[in-house]
């Protein structure tokens, strides 16, 4: 238990609480402490009954069972690996910027979920983070099934395509990839590579709550271009990722086996 505690304390701060919430909320639903029907995203309950907690719990909750347990563990692995790598790499020392990225992606996913009547939002948010990591580390070589190796920028789409081939749902992965691309384009590609204006910036109140740990200047991590970037935006990338024969992202609705 002490080894588990030491490992948990070593997890980066933001990833640690996201990871812990993604374990605690499904456990609460599994034990019946709170009925899962109150944890998923239902537009009618959100808009008409003002159950405003649902966008948050639906991002953390996943129906763990005989047919979904392995998929849940795989996505917990993705959450831990790629959120940790972003937080300690491109966003190292800039917790406010990383929290803003998560909030922006989460808000886009919640709006999409309400429009499409999606009840579970865990996988889209994790995939959006994986997509951003893959683009910021696009030249990193990663391994996948049967030892195949390719650049990290293709990883989100390989996962989506693999799930499609084995007959799974690709809606969650597709939404996560599109939201991740939306953030990546607005934050990095458009202003830095295409010379456009910057549409996204971290609110100052986040800097007051989560001040930078170095430099004192707001900024983001490694951009995807080879152009010269300001010193305050210099950062680092992460490592590679792996894969196996998984049903990477099949979507589930409440009540599915």
Per-residue pLDDT tens for 131-179?
A: 999 999 989 998 877 778 889 999 999 888 877 776 667 899 999 999 9
d(CA 255, CA 179): 27
What pLDDT was estimated at residue 223?
A: 42
Q: Give the domain CATH number at 182.
A: 1.20.1540.10
What does pLDDT average to over the chain?
82
What percent of the chain stands above pLDDT 70?
81
| Number of structural domains found in the chain | 1
Task: Evaluate if residue 236 carries a pLDDT over 70.
Answer: no
249 lies in some domain: no
Q: Which domain holds residue 67?
A: 2-212
Query: Residue 253: inside a domain, yes or no?
Result: no
pLDDT at 168: 67
Q: Is residue 36 part of a domain?
A: yes
pTM of the model: 0.80
Q: What is the average pLDDT across 18-46?
A: 94
Label residue 249 by pLDDT band (50, 70, 90).
very low
> What is the Cα–Cα distance from 211 to 95, expressed in whole angstroms?
7
What tens digit of pLDDT does each residue of 185-205 get? 999 888 777 777 788 899 999
Instruction: Look at residue 1 in the predicted model and tell me its pLDDT.
Output: 61
Q: Is 236 exposed, middle or buried (0-12, 13-18, 19+ CB in 10 A)?
A: middle
Please return the burial class of 206, using the count of CB atoms within 10 Å of its CB with bins 0-12, 13-18 and 19+: middle
The structure tokens listed for 110 are 């919640």
55-73 average pLDDT score: 89
Cα 239–76–188 angle (5° rounding)?
Answer: 50
Please indicate, yes or no, if residue 85 is contained in any of the structural domains. yes
Of 82-86, 132-136, 191-195, 242-246, the one with minimum mean pLDDT is 242-246
34: CB partners within 8 A, 6+ apart: 28
Three-state DSSP string of 119-170: CCCHHHHHHHHHHHHHHHCCCCEEECHHHCEEEHHHHHHHHHHHHHHCCCCC
Is 195 part of any domain?
Answer: yes
Contact 247, 71 (CB under 8 A): yes
Does a structural domain hold residue 257? no
Q: Does 250 reside within a domain?
A: no
In terms of Cβ atoms closer than 10 Å to its own Cβ (0-12, 13-18, 19+), residue 254 is middle
Round to whole Å and give the CA distance between 80 and 239: 13
Structure-token pair, residue 75: 């996505």
Q: Indicate if the pLDDT at residue 183 is higher than 70.
A: yes
């Amino acid at each position: 238990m002490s080894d588990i505690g030491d490992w948990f304390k070593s997890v980066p701060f933001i990833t640690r609480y996201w990871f812990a919430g993604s374990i605690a909320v499904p456990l609460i639903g599994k034990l019946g402490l709170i009925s899962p029907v109150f944890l998923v995203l239902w537009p009618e309950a959100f808009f008409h009954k003002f159950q405003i907690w649902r966008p948050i719990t639906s991002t953390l909750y996943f129906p763990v069972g005989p047919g979904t347990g392995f998929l849940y563990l795989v996505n917990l692995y993705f959450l831990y690996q790629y959120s940790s790598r972003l937080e300690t790499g491109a966003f190292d020392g800039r917790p406010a910027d990383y929290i803003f990225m998560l909030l922006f992606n989460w808000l886009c996913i919640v709006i999409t979920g309400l429009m499409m009547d999606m009840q579970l939002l865990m996988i889209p948010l994790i995939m959006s983070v994986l997509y951003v990591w893959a683009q910021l580390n696009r030249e990193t070589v990663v391994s996948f099934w049967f030892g195949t190796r390719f650049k990290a920028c293709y990883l989100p789409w390989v996962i989506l395509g693999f799930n499609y081939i084995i007959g799974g749902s690709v809606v969650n992965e597709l939404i996560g990839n599109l939201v991740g691309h939306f953030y990546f384009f607005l934050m990095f590609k458009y202003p830095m590579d295409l010379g456009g204006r910057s549409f996204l910036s971290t609110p100052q109140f986040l800097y007051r709550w989560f001040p930078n740990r170095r430099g004192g200047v707001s900024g983001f991590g490694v951009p995807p271009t080879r152009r010269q970037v300001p010193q305050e935006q210099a950062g680092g990338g992460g490592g590679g990722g792996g894969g196996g024969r998984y049903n990477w992202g099949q979507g589930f609705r409440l009540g599915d086996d």
